[in-house]
Structure 1
Amino acid sequence: MALVEATDLVREYRMGDERVRALDGASLSLDGGQFVSVIGPSGAGKSTLLHILGALDVPTSGSIVVDGVDLATLNDDAASEFRRHRVGFIFQFFNLVPTLSAWENVALPMLLDSKSLSSAKPRAVELMERVGLGDRIEHRPSELSGGQMQRVAIARSLIMEPKILLADEPTGNLDSKSGADVLALLADVAHDQPDRMVLMVTHADDAADFSDRVITVRDGKVLDPGSRPQPAAPQHTAAPVPGAMWMTGPIPRIGDSGRHRAE
């Protein structure tokens, strides 16, 4: 069974008196063990697709099953639980808490899942070491480079051992060298376990070169979702990273108006 199975997804938003269709019958099937890039022009529907896959939004029509869960059947509490334990999120702007150390940022999802700081620390430190930052565990975000902050965010996304990592323009704020290192790390994360997948939304064609599979979204439609996997770029390597996740607790979801509403 595919890890992600989306069929005829439609997502419409009301903009004044008009309805805008962000997704228009999008379908795709994704297996574990893949690093998948979603590319396309601005406004094509890439972020809407990512939000639906991560249970941050719901389709107007169509079906979406992720890791055996029919997302259309989830209420707000169940959607929060799904995000907390099955999905890891990586953002362009890192979303680190400035007053926490690097390892505390990594441990944060476990704290929000009612674990103690002391019980979360060993796993957080282990993940910091696996992303190459074992000597930066006590540093605060202001003491880290952009590439290092994104590595902390990747470690944080893994701490709850999710099946799916969703990365929204993860190299958008990085220089080319740091960006390549982060992409190589994401590829290793995707390939580390056969039942885990990393899906990245990106505007950068060279970022997509690191992927096993490239999907294009245009005018709300997924183009060629069954295309043959692309070879990952071999010249960049990073230490393998074991599994886990972030995105916890009640957070904003997206209403029909396109605006966020609090759960």
Structure 2
Amino acid sequence: MPITRTLILVAALLPAPILAQGLGRAPEREAPRLNAVADPGADYRMALRFFAGEGVDRDNARGLDYLRKAAAGGHAEAQFNLGNYLNMFQADYAGAAHWWRQAGAQDHPAALFNLAELLTAGLVPAQAGESAAAYRQRAVALGFVPEPAVAAEPVPPARDIEPAPASPAVAAAPPLAAAAVPVADPASAAWLAAPADSATIQVFASTSLAEVRAVAARHPWRRPLALLTFERDGQRWHALLHGRFADVAAARRGLAELPPALRAGKPWPRRLGDVRAQTRMTLQALPGKSNELR
């Protein structure tokens, strides 16, 4: 079942490609405001500032407080993002549905589509008079473009997903930066030795290592996990990778294997050659829950 890959989380919790699509940033010189006048837009901007540490000390708890205040004040983007937070980090599907309904009432197309996918997955019951099909149709009418459906496939035998021996062309290529990183365990070495044209799925990324490890520990997985750490714009990022696939097309088919809550978070297939070429990259295998097909 396809789930929208346009999910936008609060700035400090976002994968890099989602940040590129753009949560607006608050003006550089805006100071933390007083609470004398209700202003959901200002509350939302302050939420972004606390999550990103822009002009204030980074404080996720205060950022979440401001995000909730903005959502309660009727700010559609705050409602959408609060739903995203509850869906991804707390598995609170009823809470996510509540805020997506509020944002959807203001014609937020991605909120409508996410709500449709929650209903389709059976993660929340439909309220009187609502249906997943109607929400999905309305989202598309408002301009949302869903990705083509990806049919779920059985997990291939291990020999199909383990890295193949490197071809002569790959062996002759200049060594990537990761080759110089000492690796103590064979599982991590397998990620580093996989052919450049093989692929993986980046499930989630954050500047917080603890958040990435929490996502890895919270969900069942069908394939091996890895922790990718890299530098972007002078900041260290951490990304959760799921599975090694023969190529990007196989990784794209593998999106259907992810838990519904994670498919809503914009996972994306990536060539392992591109993954390993990132600045100051390290790649380490992670333990994860197993949910192998019987």
Scaled by the length of structure 1, what TM-score is found? Answer: 0.28
Larger Rg: 2
Question: Which structure is higher in RCO with an 8 Å CA cutoff and minimum separation 6?
Answer: 1
More helix by share: 2
Q: Which has the higher strand share?
A: 1
